[in-house]
Amino acid sequence: MSDPGLKPRWLRLRARFVIFVLSGVAVVATAMALISHWEASSALLESSQEQLLDLASAQAGELARRLVKVSAPALDLAVTLEEVGVSGEAMARRLLSQNLVANPRVYGMALALAPYSFASDRRAFSVYAYRSPQGLKVIDLDSPAYDYPSQNWYLVPTLLGHGVWSEPYFDEGGGDILMSTFSAPMVKKGQVLGVVTADVDLGYLGREVRSLAVSEGGYAFLITRQGTFLAGPKDELVMRQSIFSLAEEMHSAELRQLGRRMVRGAKGVLRIKDPISKRDAWLAYAPVKGVGWSYGVVAPEDAVLAPVKNLTRHQMYFALGGLGLMGIVVFLMVVGLTKPVKLLTHGAKRLAGGDLLTRVTGIRPGDEVGELAHTFNTMAGDLHAHVEELKRKKQQLEDSLHRIELLENIENTLSKFVPASVKARIDEAPEAPDLNKRETDVSVLFLDVAGYTKMSEQVTGEDMNFLIERYFSSFLDDIYQNHGDINETAGDGLMIIFQDDDPVQHAVNAVNTALAVERKVAKVNQELAGRFQPVRVNIGVNSGTALVGSSRFEGLAGTRWTFTASGSVTNNAARIGALATEGKIFIGPETARRVGDRFEIAGIGPQRLKNVAEPLEVFQVLGARPA
């Protein structure tokens, strides 16, 4: 009987013990999280500055290498013409056109000879070739109204005696675009013979800058020797403002000082107020060597500190989880103190009610309560053992059925992603399928959607996904009907492998598929007319012997298998496809030899393919021959 003079506690023993222990743990965990957040933020900011500077330097170097691919054709042609000379206007036009075809990064090229060096009665000789919406165009610059020997692009390199990049300008009357020009002089025995130029489209240059990886929420920009923006996060900055005019608008001495350092070719990293987003950010800058321009990378500070915030959030989650686990542990400890009496009380009540399956557990033997619990459990032991055995068998059966159902679901799901050729090999020997690579005669088809990048910028992501699925779905039946095996997808492209015991047949199947894709594209274009711009699909096909089978890539995170066809046949098929434009179908010489009697084909001449030593004869498929 309780003492009437004592007030009852408002919480029982279990609750008081749990609250006391968990409060102390919560205080310690919070303090550790705050200290960890502060230290991690400081360390991350320091390391991020180094990483951002390394990123700016690496990307500036990459941009310089890409610009070298623009200047290299002009330098090479200048060296060649120093030795062989220019025999006539036809030769000049041909050389410029060939160089433009071979170098897609170059927008236009010019060949300008020194006055009276071509002929004693002809003062000027200058030919300019450039890209236009209608294709390559070649024009003459040697008109009285355009005195090219006095132009900077001709005068500066002849005076300096080496190649130079010009300041960006608008080329009116030629390409009618914003561009920058690299000029390489032709000098023989100290005498200037003329100049060869190569132009880069600043629109292309802007895309090149945007293609370089920048942290989430950040951006890159490029400025000239005078600080003018060549590329940036906003198109209205390009060639319209400089970093100094932007500093004047913002009344920012810090930005003005940064511009001075960048145009002097320095590199570094500093914390700024982003002039675009008006947020705190980190900016790293480095010179683009060989050009005199400067490249900058801006990363928002909140994006830099995002890992720390995520770490802190995860620590809080772990702390809460730990508190919950600690609460359970403490609760179990308290329960262990009071459980024996309660267990025996509840057990006696259930036994009195006729429940022979009752068990009293968790009571240590060795005392009177332990002996009583042992006697209680022995009474219903045999019956309980039989029931538990039945429960175990039932659970085992349910687990087995669940595993079988899970394996069936996995098999059905994986079958959607496994190529038909892999399924065939597994069906041949299910217990030990042979997935090793074999030399197999195949035809490989590459297709890609022309203008995919431009189209993705003009429509929403949802519409872009709808278009790709609509067009690719229309191809699927024709691919399967011609026994094609879709091996790889890459957003806007497909790689399809055709195999057959008859090497001629799989080449015919590949070309039939290409023509069917052409028809389906036209049909879908008609269906979607008025909603979306029409699409063109470029296709390349090549035939021959390739290694067909699995490739295994192992890493710390696991092993990745792919099933594909590898070798020069596949590589050349991809490069032939890259040559195709305007929805054309190009095939390699072996494919042409096999299918030439069934389809109308036309040779387009030997073509230089990337990383292929010798030119490859390429043909265009015009359609099927009449039966």
On whether residue 354 sits in a domain, the answer given is no
Q: Where is 169: in which H helix or E strand? A: strand 169-170
| pLDDT tens-digit readout, 35-52 | 654 555 555 556 677 888
**pLDDT given at position 394:** 80
Q: Is residue 80 a part of any domain in this protein?
A: yes
User: Using CA atoms, how far apart are residues 112 and 194, in angstroms rounded to an integer?
Assistant: 5
- Has residue 197 been placed in a domain? yes
Helices 306-352 & 13-84 angle (0-180, nearest 10): 150
Q: What pLDDT, on the 0 to 100 scale, is given for residue 445?
A: 95
Do 436 and 297 reside in the same domain of the chain? no
Strand partners, 283: 270, 298
Q: What are phi and psi of 177, to 5 degrees?
A: -140, 165
Question: Are both 32 and 179 inside the same structural domain?
Answer: yes
Which of 627, 542, 550 has the alpha carbon at shortest distance from 593? 542
- The one-letter amino acid code at 437 reads K
Centre a 10 Å sphere on the Cβ of residue 314 and count the other Cβ atoms it contains.
10
Report the C-alpha gap between 314 and 311 in whole angstroms: 5
E-strand stretches of 421-492: 438-449, 484-489
Among 241, 273, 304, residue at a domain's last position: 304
Is 87 within 8 Å of 127 (Cβ atoms)? no
Residue at which a domain ends, from 274, 304, 334: 304
Into how many domains does the chain fold? 2
In a domain, 144, yes or no: yes
Rg (CA), the chain: 37
Q: How far is CA 12 from the centre of its chain?
A: 60
The CATH number linked to 597 is 3.30.70.1230
For residue range 482-519, list pLDDT tens digits in order.
999 888 776 678 999 999 999 999 999 999 999 999 99
CB 589 within 8 A of CB 605: no
Q: Note whether residue 91 is domain-resident.
A: yes
Element (H, E) at 577: helix 568-579
Helices (H), 217-353: 243-250, 253-263, 301-304, 306-352
Reduce the DSSP state of residue 465 to 3 states and report it.
helix
SS3 594: helix
pLDDT value of residue 407 = 45
In a domain, 360, yes or no: no
Judge whether 309 lies within some domain: no
Assign 215 to helix, strand or coil.
Answer: coil
Q: What is the CATH number of the domain that holds 161?
A: 3.30.450.20
Which of 304, 320, 350 terminates a domain? The answer is 304
pLDDT one-digit tens code per residue, 561-617: 667 888 899 999 999 999 998 899 999 999 999 998 999 999 999 998 888 888 999
Q: What is the mean pLDDT of each run of 10 residues along the chain (627 residues)?
A: 54 63 68 59 63 82 85 90 86 90 90 85 86 87 80 87 84 71 89 90 77 71 85 79 84 86 87 80 86 85 64 64 69 61 69 70 69 70 70 77 59 49 57 69 92 77 85 89 84 88 94 94 90 90 89 64 81 91 93 93 91 89 87
Residue 610 maps to a domain? yes
Say whether 188 sits in a helix, a strand or coil.
strand
Helix-strand-coil split of the chain, %, nearest 5: 50, 25, 25
Q: Do 299 and 435 fall into the same domain?
A: no
Q: Looking at residue 98, what DSSP letter applies?
A: H
Residue numbers of the domain that contains 238: 10-304
